[in-house]
């Protein structure tokens, strides 16, 4: 059973669903590409660890009265020296615990040379939300765009500021950036919205290679079916994060037509 939406299903963007979507989409892309690229190239799922802070971390909390209530006054005896204040009882506090998030990405490696030819990223909330995770990703992104490696960035999340919107291009809910190294500083940009189909794109390899086509909608529909999302998503409820007014109206009308 495929998703009822013609393009990206906004219900798959739910924060609790996205880690599974991200993991399974990475695997689906790798499994789809591998037979087309062997024996010249190997498709690997690598993992990066992002530090987490701000709203993702546990904050330090110390009650204002903790010190006052935890002290006992020293008493003087007959000719005795006053003792130092002693803690009466421990106070429970919350410490900042450094947290990390693991995220997968794809590397296309030439088997004969072990050279990384192409990197494919599917963005997660950590990459888009302001904070250390975004800064780390932006640093890696800049390094890749300055290298001899092809780069593909897939953004299927409405929430969070976009990593980049090229000049003269209207902003969109979703985007795919395809940056063949021989084209830089130019690149191919696919912007699309909720009612649009997800564009297929050619995966850049080396100039002499035939580029395979990546059909994200087909892969998403496959993982939607295998994960049983059609059985657990309640399309009568609003998605999380919520849609804008125009998109919410369109989605309600679309779902009404699909399920009538």
pLDDT mean values, one per 10 residues, the chain (260 residues) = 96 94 97 98 88 47 33 43 64 74 91 97 93 91 96 97 87 96 96 98 97 98 96 95 96 94
Upstream peptide bond of 185 is cis (omega within 30 degrees of 0): yes
Find the domain containing 144 and state its range: 10-60+91-259
Task: Output Rg (C-alpha) for the chain, integer angstroms.
Answer: 26
Residue 204: HSE in the Cβ half-sphere, 13 Å Cα cutoff: 22
Structural domains of the chain, count: 1
CA dist 74 and 185 (Å) reads: 73
Of 15, 5, 4, which Cα lies nearest the Cα of 194?
5
In a domain? residue 79: no
Q: Give the other-Cβ count within 10 Å of 245's Cβ.
A: 8
In a domain? residue 139: yes
Task: State the pLDDT at residue 47.
Answer: 87
CA dist 170 and 180 (Å) reads: 22
pTM of the predicted structure, to 2 decimals = 0.82
Please write down the HEC assignment for all residues of 133-199: HHHHHHHHHHHHHCCCCEEEEEECCCCCCCCCCCCCCCCCCEEEEEECHHHCCCCEEEEECCCCCCC
**Phi/psi class of residue 76: alpha, beta or left (left: φ > 0; alpha: ψ in -120 to 50)?**
beta
In a domain? residue 80: no
Tokens (6 digits) for 48: 């990066």
* Cβ atoms 175, 192 nearer than 8 A: yes
In a domain? residue 230: yes
In a domain? residue 180: yes
Tokens (6 digits) for 44: 């690997």
Strand partners, 49: 102
In a domain? residue 32: yes
CA dist 83 and 72 (Å) reads: 10
Helices (H) and strands (E) in the chain, counts: 7, 10
In a domain? residue 1: no
Of 249, 236, 255, 172, which Cα lies nearest the Cα of 3?
255
Q: Which residue has 């125009």 as its token pair?
A: 246
Task: State the pLDDT at residue 53.
Answer: 59
Residue 178: phi, psi to the nearest 5?
A: -120, 115
In a domain? residue 21: yes
């Amino acid at each position: 059973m495929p998703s009822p939406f013609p393009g990206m299903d906004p219900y798959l963007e739910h924060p609790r669903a996205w880690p599974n979507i991200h993991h399974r989409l990475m695997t689906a892309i790798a499994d789809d590409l591998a037979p087309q690229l062997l024996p010249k190239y190997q498709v690997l799922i690598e993992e990066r660890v992002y530090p987490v802070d701000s709203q993702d971390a546990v904050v330090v909390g110390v009650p204002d009265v903790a010190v006052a209530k935890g002290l006992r006054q020293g008493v003087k005896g007959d000719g005795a020296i006053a003792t130092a204040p002693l803690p009466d009882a421990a106070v429970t506090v919350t410490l900042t615990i450094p947290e990390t998030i693991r995220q997968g990405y794809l590397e296309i490696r030439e088997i004969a040379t072990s050279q990384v030819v192409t990197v494919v990223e599917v963005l997660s909330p950590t990459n888009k939300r302001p904070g250390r995770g975004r800064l780390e990703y932006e640093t890696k992104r800049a390094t890749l765009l300055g290298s001899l490696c092809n780069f593909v960035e897939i953004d299927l999340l409405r929430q969070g500021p976009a990593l980049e919107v090229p000049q003269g291009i209207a902003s969109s809910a979703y985007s795919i950036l395809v940056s063949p190294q021989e084209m830089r500083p130019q690149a191919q940009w696919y912007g699309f919205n909720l009612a649009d189909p997800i564009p297929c794109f050619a995966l850049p390899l080396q100039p002499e290679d035939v580029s395979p086509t990546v059909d994200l909608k087909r892969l998403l529909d496959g993982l939607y079916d295998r994960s049983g999302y059609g059985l657990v998503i309640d399309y009568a409820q609003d998605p999380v994060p919520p849609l804008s007014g125009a998109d919410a109206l369109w989605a309600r009308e679309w779902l009404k037509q699909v399920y009538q």
